[in-house]
Amino acid sequence: MPFQVCRVAYQPLPLFVAASAPAPKDLASVTQSGNAEFESYTARLRDFFQRPSRLRAALQHGGLVSRIACMIMETDGQLLDHIVPDTEELYGRALLRWEGEEVMFTEVLSNDEISFICGLYNVPATKSKVYWWPLPDKWLKSGLHTYYWTPDCEGWFGKRLWEIRHGLATLHTSRQWGNCVRFSRSKLTKVLAAQRAFGDDLLKQLVP
C-alpha cells in the first residue's frame, strides 16, 4: 500500500528535482535474459538503492515497486533502521505545501527510475523495450491489485522469481505484461466496488 512520509526543509525547494536513472542496457534478444543477467540487474539495483532517498521513495511507492525494493534489501541484508536521512540532498523530492517558512516534502521516483527498478532493457533488433517486472500502470490494472500486498501477490512474485532464477522466464514488453497479469480482473473489479461502497456507508455512519 503506498504511503507518504513528509519531511521539513528550511530552505526553498523547486517543485520537483529531476531524478535520473542509469541508462537501460541493450539486449540482442530476450533469450539473453537468463539468471546471470538477472543477477547483474539486481547488482545494479543494489547500487541504485545506495542513495537512501531512492530506497525510501520506492518503499513508499507501494505495490510491486516496494516489493522489488524489499527483495534487494533482503539480498543485501540492509535493515530499515540503518537507513539514515540525507537531509542536505535535494534529490527526487516533490514539494507538498508551504507552512510559513517551512516546506513539507516527500521523496518520489521519476518515471525513468521506476522503469529501471522494473528491469528495463532495450532490444535494438526489434526496437522494443522489455522488463523483468510489470510497470505500475499494468500492476494497478491486474487481477492481483487489491490495494494491499496479499498472499496471492506474494505467491505470484515468488513464482516469477523462481522461474527467473531457474532460466524458465523471459522479459516481456509492457503490453505483454498487461496480458500476463490480467487474471480475473473483471471479477475483482466488482468485489472492490462492493468493498468501497460498504466502506463509504460505514464511514458515513461513524463520521456523520
The three cell numbers of residue 151 are 498472499
94 CB-near residues (< 8 Å, 6+ apart) = 15, 16, 105, 106, 107, 108
Computed over every residue of the chain, the mean pLDDT equals: 80
- Residue pair 106/96 in contact by the 8 Å Cβ criterion: yes
pTM score, two decimals?
A: 0.80
Q: Is the pLDDT of residue 70 over 60?
A: yes
The secondary structure element, H or E, covering residue 105 is strand 102-107
Query: What is the pLDDT at residue 120?
Result: 95
Q: Per-residue pLDDT tens for 75-120?
A: 555 544 444 455 555 566 666 666 666 677 778 888 999 999 999 9
The three cell numbers of residue 43 are 547488482
Q: How far apart are CA 72 and CA 76, in angstroms?
A: 6
What DSSP designation does 81 have?
Answer: G
Q: pLDDT band at residue 140, thresholds of 50, 70 and 90?
A: confident
- Residue pair 109/58 in contact by the 8 Å Cβ criterion: yes
Query: What is the pLDDT at residue 54?
Result: 86
Q: pLDDT band at residue 128, thresholds of 50, 70 and 90?
A: very high
What DSSP designation does 61 have?
Answer: H
Phi, psi of 58 (to 5 degrees): -65, -40
Query: What is the pLDDT at residue 145?
Result: 83
Q: How far apart are CA 75 and CA 96, in angstroms?
A: 33
What DSSP designation does 170 have?
Answer: -
Higher pLDDT, 139 or 29: 139
Q: pLDDT band at residue 50, thresholds of 50, 70 and 90?
A: confident
Q: What is the mean pLDDT of residues 38-49?
A: 91
